Amino acid sequence: MSETTQTVELGEAEAKAIAKHVAAPEIDNEKIAQLVAEKMAILAQAADKEVNKLAGGKTETHEVEVLGKFDKLSKEAFAIKQLSAALSGNHSELQELNDHALKSLKEKGIVNKATYLNAGTDADGAVLVPNAELLGDILSVLPEYSPLANELRTINLVNGSSIDISAITADVVMTEVGSEGGAKTVTKPTLGDSNVAVREFAGIALMTKKLIQQSALDVYGILRDSFARAIAKKREQLILTDSSSGIVNKSGVTVLTASSGDVAAADITLAQLKSMPFQVPTQSAAGGIYVFSRLLLGSLAGREDTTGQPIVTVDAGAANGLTGTFNGYRYVVAETLGTSDAVSTVHAVFGNFAKFGVVVRQGAIDTAVFDSGTVTDGSSVVHNLIQENKLAMRVETWENVGYPMPSAFVRLRTAAS
């Protein structure tokens, strides 16, 4: 016996009438919410952790990277945003910007948290923390203001504020053994040791508030160059003329003196200059460079050899034309060296700075911006920031220069009388 299926179409009125007699199923909304929450927790836990089976089931936690609100800002826009926050007194935004800058410094290995925060406790106030990109640009343009400032190796301290540097001052001596089984002369290397502690330096750069209203690129360039000029000048002083660290005043450095009565840079002879590489160990002569004063280079540039050719070549495209070659070695010009013709004045230094000189730095660079008060510049001019609508940017660095082996260098000075 077969069954027959018949379809009956209901109108809207009939469907509503039937629906009145059909009970809707009960829905436990609370139970559904609980199940959803549990499922979400499981998914979140699975996303944050994974089991490393090769490590015997050790669980590793992975943080989810969150895109910061400043990550998309260009380095120029970031610097302007910092300045604007400092000038407007928006400390909360400045603190966020500084935190972001600190993160960039840590990621680049420039500074660790403990070292920096000890030196920058005002990072939530008027202090600006330059980010890693700005610092990188500053270091990249240092040679434009001092070719020598970028020659030495830079050591960034992770802990403490000083470093012990040592070097071999005398090698092991090989001696012949006179007979089979005879006694061997015992020799050992002699080590020189010294401690280099960082020193704090500060400089102030002036600019008008109108600059902040200009394009971000212009202001960023001004910031970068201001930092670079200040750091390059101070580092060059530390390398050459500083009373404690400078090679001009360092004991142990070989000293050549011009003939009696020769007290001007023009009196220094070619023979004296050409003998300098032979006054230092071979390791320092290889890869060594000359450092000339501007006065000395000016004198050398006007001299010719026996064939009428210039005795110095000048690289006009590098560091404003203040580098080149002389006597088969590269030379650089230092603004702080031999600034006048006088007795006992050093006008030339020779040695391998990259191998036998170090710059020790702690932390990063601190900057603070002020729009009130007065500042006296290097020309003894007093600037009233309020009346003249100017800004003063104070730059602070912590660094020093050390020479593990001063005898690897020679300096040439004018006569004492």
How many Cα atoms occupy the beta-carbon half-sphere of 72 within 13 Å? 3
pLDDT in tens, the chain (417 residues): 444 545 555 556 665 555 555 555 555 556 655 665 565 555 545 444 443 333 344 444 444 444 467 888 888 888 888 888 877 778 888 888 888 887 887 777 665 544 443 334 444 445 788 888 888 888 888 888 888 888 998 887 877 778 877 655 555 667 777 677 667 666 655 555 578 888 888 887 788 877 776 666 678 888 888 888 888 889 999 999 999 999 999 988 999 999 999 999 999 999 999 999 999 988 889 999 999 999 999 999 889 888 888 899 888 666 555 789 999 999 999 989 999 999 999 999 999 999 889 898 887 677 788 888 998 877 788 999 989 888 888 888 889 999 988 889 999 999 998
Is 251 within 8 Å of 194 (Cβ atoms)? no
Q: Which residue has the tokens 């005043």?
A: 249
Do 224 and 138 meet the contact criterion of CB atoms below 8 Å apart? Answer: yes
Residue 240 CB coordination number (10 Å): 26
Block residue for tokens 């400089």 = 203
φ and ψ of 78, to 5 deg: -65, -45
For residue 35, the model assigns a pLDDT of: 60
Architecture of domain 254-358+404-413: 2-Layer Sandwich (3.30)
Q: What is the pLDDT of residue 124?
A: 47
- Are 287 and 354 a contacting pair, CB within 8 Å? yes
Cross-strand bridge partners of residue 313: 325
The residues near 218 (Cβ < 8 Å, ≥ 6 apart) are 211
Helix (H) or strand (E) holding 381: none
Residues, the chain, total? 417
Task: Give the per-residue pLDDT at 48.
Answer: 45
The closest alpha carbon to 352, from 273, 291, 262, belongs to: 291
Nearest to 86 by CA among 369, 402, 403, 400: 369
Tokens of 401: 């220069």
Q: How many Å apart are CA 205 and CA 369, to the nearest integer? A: 9
Burial of 13 (0-12, 13-18, 19+ CB in 10 A): exposed
* pTM for the model: 0.70
Cα-based angle 369, 374, 379 (whole degrees, multiple of 5):
100
The Cα–Cα gap between 379 and 202 comes to 17
pLDDT at 211: 74
H or E segment and range at residue 195? strand 190-197
Residue type (1 letter), 324: G
Looking at residue 321, what is its pLDDT? 53
DSSP for 213-275?
GS-HHHHHHHHHHHHHHHHHHHHHHHHHT-TTT-TTT-TTSEEEEPPTT--SGGG--HHHHHH
Query: Range(s) for CATH 3.30.2320 in the chain?
Result: 254-358+404-413
Cβ-count burial of 78 within 10 angstroms (0-12 exposed, 13-18 middle, 19+ buried)?
A: buried
pLDDT at 349: 98
φ and ψ at residue 171, rounded to 5 degrees: -80, 165
